[in-house]
Structure 1
């Protein structure tokens, strides 16, 4: 079995938001390819990166199953594999733009990326274990662990764990061991991680070591205390809900905030849009702060769980001045980005259009 490959490190590929544990951001203005190179893919860690080897790693499958399992990496890789392309976004992406400031990593726009993932469908492993009739959720637990004090103190040393509903687990969740055709790097979860297509990145547990089927909803720290938001529905009092599927969102990559663009020229505004478990149907761009909108052109066809890059030809003003650009997306279910951030979401699910201010300048002689 091959050893863990080395990480290439943050510079010049990523922006360091936190050194330890590593939290590294893709410079979104560099968006170009549909698939993000591994060296440029953002890294989100809650605890120090665990040291795991291919030879010693194993996955425990238990709980509400008829045949508990323990699989080594060679056994897992011997099962039928699948490769899928999926966009993954941290639930706190864009947090730095919120006022007042929210707790958490100060992500700008680049805690998002798209990769090709290869691994074994979780459904195949659960099928081998056999599900009891009481099965309700599937808890994914990683080898990373530690203590936290924010948002609330953890009850001692805890592992990172999240759950997904049974129907999602039996659907498209992947136990991935390759990323963009190569073995996972340590920062991306070597040797095996979960990939939950269409959901925010907190569900795609890295360094996966345990899959537990439960007969009732999981109440872990990262399911209820963190990565949760308040929801009001049908006139009922607000209820705390775990964050799940990504919502529709378009983001401008170029021009970057405060970039200088020339007067009386054609500038190609570019970006990407995604919509979680459905497709992006339309992207609109405003070059006057949201007063008027025009439709952008897609560079990619609609593909499940994958962003669509887009572009828009902007005829810049003939006179210099400051201009505000905004983009918004609408999905195939006719849902458009909200006009403002919902305070009940705290520092998560930041999907309102983020304005990009640029300076239109006279051309140099």
Structure 2
């Protein structure tokens, strides 16, 4: 007869391997230099990760919100900055920051996640910023609806997409290399701009944008990975046809096999995902205690269910939500775990399901490349 404890441990180890996940040396989340309350994942350009293990508030304080930079922060003078709306429009125009702020404003609470969040856990190891769990945050963004800005310009009836250019500029290292420095940019279809209620934001959590978050103004695209929310926005250009920049074909792109042949597509909507904040990997829990397993879940639609496993995926039970349903924000969740009375090891897991019926996968899909790390990440803990 098989021994239950040995069977359990074997299933936990298998889950770690099968998921395509690795842990840092010693089995714990890596230690890193801190800048205030954030981990420094890269000093130049600045890439900062929030302490996801300390997850507490629904809204992430601005000084704890993750920061993603492709190049150095561009020197921008707010007094002379302008935003141009141009291209396939009837009336192109330019706005100063004061003029943008004078327009009717809206506020949106939105969760943003870097598409590479969790990259440090991939097996085999891949290049790029070595994010762990905290390249995801939730904030209230205030600005002007993109739809209002486009309506003022008068979009051509045969227009198809909108291109957003940022002022951040530099040389990239990925191959094939562009010929010299390039600016960051992304595009959205006109249909996507309407469906997602995109805004041009000039404030975060009630205060003007800091430089690291794209001041004076940036795009906010609810439900999409962070690269879509272009920072240091300088122009909005309506175009006819497709857009094939480096940032949508070489970088921030994936292989789509739905047509029967692999086609390169730009990344966009966030995939359903949950993460355990506490206990942390290689942490200890008290045997026989009641311990809260705490985390958050999100997607590009409402997350409707989170399940937790304390036995390496053999069984699953529902967690309780701490936040109401919301299309474009995370939902924090909690699971009351009755820790076994005997000392040993346990492998914790969480998986989310959203309103579209999508459930977080157990294993990695390599067609995402170095992005979209949304498979279940096992969290081994010690019962002592």
Question: Of the candidates 96, 102, 111, which is equivalent to residue 87 of structure 1?
Answer: 111
Asked if 1:355 is matched to 2:378, the reply is: yes
* 1:192 alignment partner in structure 2: 217
| Structure 1 residues 216-259: Cα deviation after superposition (integer angstroms, max 9, x where no partner) | 11111101110000010142x10000001001111000001111
Shift of 1:151: 4.1
Does residue 312 of the first structure (1) align with residue 345 of the second (2)? no
Among residues 233, 250, 275, which one is paired with 1:251 in the alignment?
275
Are 2:72 and 1:56 equivalent residues in the alignment?
A: no
Cα distance in 2, alignment partners of residues 49 and 346 from structure 1: 27
| 1:285 match | 308
**Aligned to 1:70, which of 71, 91, 94?**
94
> Where in structure 2 are the equivalents of 1:1-365 lying within 5 Å?
11-171=35-195, 172-235=197-260, 237-276=261-300, 278-361=301-384
Task: Give the CA deviation at 1:184.
Answer: 0.4
Judging changes above 3 Å, is the alpha-carbon distance between structure 1 residues 256 and 151 closer, same or farther for their aligned structure 2 residues?
A: farther
Consecutive unaligned residues in structure 1, runs of 5 or more: 1-8
CA separation of 1:10 and 1:56: change in aligned 2, threshold 3 A: farther
Equivalences, count: 351
Whether the 8 Å CA contact 1:151–1:226 is kept in 2: the answer is: no
TM superposition shift of 1:10: 5.7
Give a deviation string over 1:134-166, Cα, whole Å, max 9, x none.
211111111100111214312211100000111
**Structure 1 position 12, deviation (Å):** 2.7
For residues 65-106 of structure 1, the C-alpha deviation after alignment (integer angstroms, 9 at most, x for no partner) is 111111100111111100010000000001111101122110
Distance 1:279 1:43 in 2: 25
For residues 108 and 151 of structure 1, what CA distance do their matches in structure 2 show?
24
- Retained in 2: the 8 A contact 1:135–1:215? yes
- Structure 1 segments, 4+ long, off by >4 Å, are none
Return the alpha-carbon distance in structure 2 between the equivalents of residues 69 and 338 of structure 1: 46
**Is the Cα contact below 8 Å between 1:117 and 1:178 reproduced in 2?**
yes
Query: What CA RMSD, in Å, does the superposition of the two structures yield over aligned residues?
Result: 1.1
* Counterpart Cα distance in 2 of 1:50 and 1:69: 23
Between 1:172-181 and 1:51-60, the stretch displaced more is 51-60
Separation in 2, partners of 1:189, 1:331: 30
Superposed displacement of residue 170, structure 1 = 3.0
Whole-Å separation in 1 of the counterparts to 2:347 and 2:34? 31
Give the match's secondary structure for 1:170.
helix
Distance 2:94 2:132 in 1: 40
SS at match of 2:35: coil
The answer to which structure has the higher helix fraction is 2
Q: Secondary structure at the match of 2:151?
A: helix
- The 2-side partners of 1:199 and 1:299 are apart by 23
- Taking the aligned partners of 2:157 and 2:357, their CA distance within structure 1 comes to 36
Q: CA deviation at 1:168?
A: 1.9
Distance 2:265 2:213 in 1: 27
